[in-house]
Amino acid sequence: MILSGKCAIVTGASRPIGKAIAKKFVEEGAIVYLISRDADRIALIAQELDPNDEGKAIAMPCDITSKTSIEEVFEHIAAADLVVDILVNATDLAIEKPLEQLELEDWTRNIKTNLTGAFLLSQKCFAGMKEAGAGKIINVASLISDNVKPGIAAYVAAKGGLVMLSRSIAAEWGKYNIQANTIVNADIDLPMSKEKAMDTDPMKLADKSSLAEDIADVALFLASDKANDITGKEIPVDEGFLTSLIKE
């Protein structure tokens, strides 16, 4: 098992992508902390991933926009005599409104959830990763940050910022053997995703149900020692969407 002995945090664990990544990590030997505001949902997922309650999947309700809430998670991890080796920021929130109707509260909520939380968690992981001499940070962003669609300006801005956060981490923390990369996905967690996929089907795009598994496979690779020389990169897992944009 390629993640045996590793400790991982996966945010957005109550959603399809986060759950698939957490499942893959548990299967490959990691101890995984499932992070979400939805306490009931992640408790059920933890039970599903670790049915014998062996401490392989731990549900940790957390508001990732709150430093206090994040601190509580890390206190729990430290009490278990663990250090975070792998951080996956897979939280996803999109508020759909035309730009001119977007309230400051909507904007702030999007930025805090999709970007600020990843920043706070990355900062919190830094000391332990630096001391260990290794670390993996994987951010899950969106194709929409490169192919802007109307009505989700705050989401686009946040996910675009997440890409640049990965690059900044790679540039500043690479000397400590910390790698940071971004998986750019095809937005399977967005309510409008199925409709968009139906509209952009020239490549016979893959079934959405399989996409989370594909993203989890890429996350597993990036979290492993096999990806030690890959950092500051964006890896698209997009059902061929980008290829479908090529005009003959």
Higher pLDDT, residue 103 or 206: 103
| 189 located within any domain | yes
**pLDDT value at residue 196:** 45
Question: What distance in Å separates the CA atoms of residue 113 and residue 35, rounded to the nearest whole number?
Answer: 13
**Greater confidence, 242 or 82?**
82
**Structure confidence at residue 151 as a pLDDT band (50, 70, 90):** confident
Question: What mean pLDDT do residues 66-76 have?
Answer: 98
Spatial CA neighbour of 85 closest among 158, 175, 10: 10
Is 29 a domain residue? Answer: yes
Q: Taking residues 1-19, report their average pLDDT.
A: 96
- Considering the domain boundaries, does residue 1 fall inside one? no
Catalytic residue, from 25, 33, 107, 155: name it: 155
- The structural domain count of the chain equals 1
CATH number at residue 93: 3.40.50.720
Instruction: Give the DSSP letter of residue 207.
Output: P
Helices vs. strands in the chain: H and E counts, helices first: 9, 7
Q: Which domain holds residue 121?
A: 7-244
pLDDT above 70 covers a percentage of the chain that reads 84
**Exposure on the CB side of residue 128, measured as CA atoms within 13 A:** 22
What does the pLDDT read at residue 11? 98
Q: Is residue 2 part of a domain?
A: no
CB 165 within 8 A of CB 139: yes
Name which of 64-78, 92-106, 151-165, 195-209 the model is least confident about: 195-209
Please list the residues that pair with 58 across neighbouring strands.
Answer: 33
Instruction: Pick the more confident residue, 172 or 193.
Output: 172
Burial class (CB in 10 A: 0-12, 13-18, 19+), 22: buried
Give the model's pLDDT for residue 187.
62
Angle at 67 between CA 25 and CA 188, to 5 degrees: 45
Catalytic (active site) residue 176: no
Any domain includes 82: yes
Q: With CA atoms as reference, report the closest residue to 63 among 117, 104, 9.
A: 117
Q: What radius of gyration, in Å, describes the C-alpha atoms of the chain?
A: 17
pLDDT tens digits, one per residue of 186-245: 764 444 444 444 344 433 344 455 689 999 999 999 999 999 999 999 999 976 655 555
Displacement of CA 125 from its chain's centroid (Å):
15
